């Protein structure tokens, strides 16, 4: 059993990952292990609950499914077997419209929409490593929510396989609703999302 705390430079795959204790949360990005600790802060969890509730309510009776962390998403580079996949993430919120990607253990393949809520311990990873990997994997829409700045960046995948420059919605600037291009008809009132978030 590989232990990422003892061998931080070792390259890991899902074969190692699935043997690690359930009491610990990890992500793998291109074979590198990232600890998912400490636990998210209260504001992070409140935003996650609000967003999940909005999306879940919208998707009732529709074919797409929404999941919240912890929920393992394998992002293969090609057709390698699950045990050889070296990127396993746990997005705060993930929406899948292709149900063939869903497995008993989680999912294999890119979600259509991903929401990550920044924490001090995950901010760099969410905005760099995961940003790059999500685009490469084909995530069609990526939302990065910053509880400290009360803002949301919305990135959409371009035909060239890269995200666009992004659209910023912030409490003291552009608070117009976000209309998802992936979830047709879903509109998020950003002002309401951050209201009473002390």
Q: Residue 194: what pLDDT?
A: 81
pTM for the structure as a whole? 0.91
Q: What is the dihedral of CA 100, 104, 105, 110, to 10 degrees?
A: 10
Q: Where are the domains of the chain?
A: 40-194
pLDDT, mean of residues 91-111: 97
- Identify which of 34, 5, 3 has the alpha carbon closest to the alpha carbon of residue 126: 34
Bridge partners (DSSP) of residue 94 are 67, 114
CATH, domain range 40-194:
3.90.1570.10
In the predicted model, is pLDDT for residue 192 greater than 90?
Answer: no
pLDDT band at 5 (very low <50, low <70, confident <90, very high): low
pLDDT tens readout for residues 124-146: 777 888 999 999 999 999 999 99
In the predicted model, is pLDDT for residue 7 greater than 90?
Answer: no
Q: Residue 1: what pLDDT?
A: 37
SS3 78: coil
* Main-chain phi, psi angles of 34, to 5 degrees: -125, 125
pLDDT, mean of residues 22-44: 85
Evaluate whether 95 touches 112 at the Cβ level (below 8 Å): yes
- Identify which of 48, 157, 160 has the alpha carbon closest to the alpha carbon of residue 113: 157
Both structure tokens of 107? 């999912």
């Amino acid at each position: 059993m590989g232990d990422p705390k003892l061998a931080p430079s070792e390259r890991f795959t899902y074969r190692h990952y699935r043997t690690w204790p359930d009491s610990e949360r990890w992500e793998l990005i291109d074979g590198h292990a990232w600890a998912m600790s400490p636990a998210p802060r209260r504001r992070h969890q409140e935003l996650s609950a609000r967003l999940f509730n909005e999306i879940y309510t919208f998707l009732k009776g529709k074919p797409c499914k929404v999941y919240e962390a912890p929920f393992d998403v394998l992002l293969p580079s090609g057709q390698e077997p699950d045990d050889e996949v070296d990127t396993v993430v746990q997005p705060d919120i993930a929406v899948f419209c292709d149900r063939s990607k869903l497995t008993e253990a989680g999912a294999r393949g890119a979600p259509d929409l991903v929401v990550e809520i920044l924490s001090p311990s995950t901010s760099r990873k969410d905005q760099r490593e995961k940003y790059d990997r999500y685009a490469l994997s084909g995530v069609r829409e990526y939302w990065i929510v910053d509880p400290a700045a009360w803002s949301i960046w919305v990135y959409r995948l371009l035909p060239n396989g890269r995200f666009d420059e992004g659209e910023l919605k912030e409490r003291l600037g552009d608070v117009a609703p976000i209309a998802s291009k992936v979830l047709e008809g879903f509109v998020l009132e950003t002002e309401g999302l951050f209201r009473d978030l002390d």
